[in-house]
Amino acid sequence: MRRISAKLALVTAAAAALLAPVTAAAAGPASHPAGAATVRRDLPEPPPADVIRKELDDLTIAAPHAMTGYSRSKFPHWVTQYGACDSREVVLARDGQDVVQDDQCRAVSGVWVSAYDGKVSTRPSTEVDIDHVVPLANAWRSGADLWDTATRRKFANDLTDPQLIAVSASSNRQKGDQSPDQWAPPLRSYWCTYGRAWTHVKYLYNLNITEPEKNKLIEMVDTCPA
């Protein structure tokens, strides 16, 4: 009983630490040898709310493009980033705590707290997904249908911008390819970051938005501290 209580206390403490605000200085992909415990990092920090509001005003409002010809295979992922590590494993290492990887760079243990719903996971292969903040299918409907393969590959594996994040598998599958007006993170406390990240990615990649999408993004960004 004492061991169970101790383990629960450790997981609870880890969850609290992982959900604490992350500064821009902590952003960026992890770089570490396989098998080493990692330092907590997070989604690359989006610009502040005042910048995001200007970016949002610059986005083109347009009707969604047709899904004709769409396939996830047209967005090659997960690509190798270094050594045996692909984009998925880099994000798992970056977004988890005490992550240990095997000699193939696969995460074999650690703790992940989903920023979307607060769920704590310790099984990365079954409980944790890497979410594209702006989903691939949404990007296709927003203008990525006109991109070349190289641009789609960059978008699907972007570790520099706030596009990839490790979240609970359940929240990622609930979200699917929906835009913010159709699905928002259950944790309202994450709306500020999510709205900023979504807007910034669409701005960087010159993707369109719809009117309902813009209205919801304004609502999300308005939750940011003044």
Give the residue extent of every domain in the chain: 2-25+40-221
What is the per-residue pLDDT for 40?
39
Tell me, what's the pLDDT at 42?
A: 77
Residue type, 28: G
Residue 169: predicted pLDDT: 98
Beta bridge partners of 80: 86
**Which of 177, 137, 180, 175 lies closest to 155, judged by CA?**
137
What pLDDT does residue 126 have? 96
Predicted local confidence at residue 134, as pLDDT = 98
What tens-digit pLDDT sequence spans the chain (226 residues)?
Answer: 333 333 334 343 444 443 443 322 233 333 333 333 333 357 999 999 999 999 999 999 999 999 999 999 999 999 999 999 999 999 999 999 999 999 999 999 999 999 999 999 999 999 999 999 999 999 999 999 999 999 999 999 999 999 999 999 999 999 999 999 999 999 999 999 999 999 999 999 999 999 999 999 999 999 999 8
pLDDT tens column, 18-58: 344 332 223 333 333 333 333 335 799 999 999 999 999 99
Nearest to 134 by CA among 89, 199, 88: 199
CA dist., res. 178 & res. 70, Å (int)? 15
| The predicted structure's pLDDT at residue 7 | 37
